[in-house]
Amino acid sequence: MARLSALFDLSGKTAVITGSSKGIGKAIAHRLAEHGANVVISSRKLDACEAAAEEINADLGRAAAIAVAANIGVKSDLERLVEETHAAFGPIHICVCNAASNPYFGPMSGISDEQFAKILQNNIISNHWLISLVAPEMRARQDGAVIIISSIGGLRGSDVIGVYNISKAADMQLARNLALEFGPDNVRVNTIAPGLVKTDFARALWDDPAILKRATAQSCLKRIGLPDEIAGAAVFLASAAGAFTTGQTFVIDGGATTI
- The CATH number given to whatever domain includes residue 192 is 3.40.50.720
115 in a domain, yes or no? Answer: yes
176 in a structural domain: yes
The residue range of the domain holding 193 is 4-199+227-251
Q: Is residue 122 part of a domain?
A: yes
23/217 Cα distance (integer angstroms): 23
In this predicted model, what pLDDT tens digit does every residue of 38-93 receive, in sequence order?
A: 999 999 999 999 999 999 999 999 999 999 999 999 999 999 999 999 999 999 99
pLDDT digits (tens, 9 = 90+) for 150-161: 999 999 999 999
pTM of the model: 0.95
Whether 164 sits among the annotated catalytic residues: the reply is yes
Q: Is residue 259 part of a domain?
A: no
In 123-150, which positions are buried (b, 16+ CB within 10 angstroms) versus exposed (e)? bbbbbebbbebbbebbbeeebbbbbbbb
Q: Which of 164, 182, 236, 250 is catalytic?
A: 164
Assess if residue 123 is contained within a domain.
Answer: yes
Cβ-based neighbours of 10, under 8 Å, separated by 6 or more: 32, 35, 36, 37, 94, 235, 238, 239
138 occurs within a structural domain: yes
Based on the structure, what is the number of domains in the chain? 1
Q: Is residue 163, in this structure, part of any structural domain at all? A: yes
212 in a structural domain: no
Q: What is the pLDDT of residue 208?
A: 80
